[in-house]
Amino acid sequence: MAKDPLDEMLNFFTPESRIDLKLIAVEHLVGLSASDHGINCLLNNENIMKAIIELTDDKVEDIARSALLILINVTVHTRGATELLKYKNSAQKNIIDLLISYVLNPQKKDADAACMILSNITRLEDELEVCLNTFIPHLNDILNAFANVDFNKKGSKLNYLAPMFSNLSCSHRIRRWLIEENPHVPVIKLLPFCNYAQSSVCRGGAVGTIRNLSFDTECHDFLLSNDVDLLTYILNPIMGNEDYPDEEMDSLPITLQYLPKEKTREPDIDVRIMILETLNKLCATSRGREKLQNNGVYYILREYHKWEHDPKALLVCENVVDILIQKEEEVGAEDLSAVEVPEEMKEKFQKMDEDFMNNV
C-alpha cells in the first residue's frame, strides 16, 4: 500500500518541532482543507486529524487559529462533521467538550472559530441526540456566555452560538429546556437577540430558535404568555416607520407603538421569512390566532406586504393574513396542526404556491 504523504507531516507536529516549520505545515493543511478532495484526504488519515485537533490548543495563537480554520472547513461537509465526532484529544475530551471549553474560556482568542465548528456539527440531525449528552450539562453556561456580549476578553463575539442554539432546538429535549429551565428561562435570554443590530448571524439564530419552538404546539401557551412578550420581539424586525390610525395603533404591543421615523425593517430575507413562518405556526391554535388578532398583527402584516418584494416572503405573509382575517367558525379547527391533509390536496396546494411565486 502506498504511503500517505500526510504521514510525513506528522513529524512537524511533535512538541519539540520548530515553531516556524509547524506553522508552515499547518498552513499547508489549511490550503488542503479548502477543497473537497483535500478534505477527503484529511479525513482518510486518522493520525493527521488527531494532530489537527491537538493543534487547536497550541500555545502559538497563529497555529491554533489555523487548526481551528481547518476544522471549520472540514465540518462544513456532512461527512467531515460526522467523522469529527469520533475523535478525542490527549485528555480524552471528545470534540464537543473540547470546543465548549474554548467557548467558555474568556481568554480564548479564537473562540469564534470554536462556535462556528459547533454550529456546523449541530446541523447533523442524525447525530443531534448523541451530541446532546455532551451539551446539556453546559447549556446554561454557554447561554450565559452568549448573552453577556463582553464575556470574551480577546475580541471573540460568540455570535455563532445563536445558530448553534437554533440547530439544537430541533430536539424536543432542548425545546423543553428552553422554556422550562429555572430560575432563568433560557428563551427569554435569547429573545433580545432577534433585534440585535450588530450581527445578522445572531438575529438569524435567535429567530430560528423561536421558529423551531413555534413548530411545537406544546410550547405555544408559554410563548404567547404575557411573561414572555414574544410578539414584541418578533414583530419589531418586520415593522417600518408607518403611521397607523389611532385605533389600530392602540391594538399593537405597547413598545411597538409610535416607532421612530428612522426605523427600518430587517434587511435579511431569510430572517424575515423565519419570522413570518413563526407567525404562521402560532396561528395553529385558536388561542394563538386570538392573541395575534388582538395585538394588531394583521395591521403590521398589511403594511409589511406593501413593502416586501420577495415572492416566498409574500406567500407566507398572505398565508398568515388569510388565517387572521377569518372568523373562528370559518377556520373550522381548534388546532390546525392536527388537521389531516390528503396527499392530492398537498400536491394541489404546492402547485398553487409555485404558481404564485412564479407570477409575482
Residue 345 has pLDDT above 50, yes or no: no
What's residue 341's pLDDT? Answer: 39
| Confidence grade of residue 354 (pLDDT, cut at 50, 70, 90) | low
What's residue 181's pLDDT? Answer: 87
Tens digits of per-residue pLDDT, 190-218? 999 999 999 999 999 999 999 999 999 99
What's residue 91's pLDDT? Answer: 74
Mean pLDDT of 272-291: 95
Domains, in order of start, for the chain: 1-168 (1.25.10.10), 193-337+346-360 (no CATH)
What's residue 33's pLDDT? Answer: 97
Closest CA to 296 of 339, 221, 244, 358: 244
Residue 283 has pLDDT above 70, yes or no: yes
Mean pLDDT of 117-141: 94
What's residue 357's pLDDT? Answer: 54
φ, ψ (nearest 5 deg) of residue 34: -85, -5
Tens digits of per-residue pLDDT, 290-333? 999 999 999 999 999 999 999 999 999 999 999 999 876 665 55
Please tell me which residue, 355 or 171, carries the higher pLDDT value.
171
First-residue to last-residue Cα distance in the chain: 59
- Per-residue cell: 360: 409575482
Residue with cell 410550547: 219
Q: What angle do CA 279, 195, 228 make, to 5 degrees?
A: 60
- Quote the CA–CA distance of 197 and 272 in Å, as a whole number: 14
pTM comes to: 0.90
- Quote the CA–CA distance of 54 and 98 in Å, as a whole number: 10
What percent of the chain shows pLDDT beyond 90? 81
Of the CA atoms within 13 Å of residue 257, those in its CB half-sphere come to 12
What's residue 306's pLDDT? Answer: 96
Average pLDDT, whole number, for the chain? Answer: 90
Mean pLDDT of 212-231: 94
Residue with cell 429535549: 173
Q: Would you say 201 and 159 are in contact if contact means Cβ atoms under 8 Å apart? A: yes
Give 9: exposed, middle or buried? Use CB within 10 Å, 0-12, 13-18, 19+: buried
Residue 287 has pLDDT above 50, yes or no: yes
Q: Could you give the residue ranges of the DSSP H alpha helices within 181-327?
A: 186-190, 200-214, 220-223, 230-235, 246-251, 269-282, 286-294, 297-307, 311-324
Residue 348 has pLDDT above 60, yes or no: no
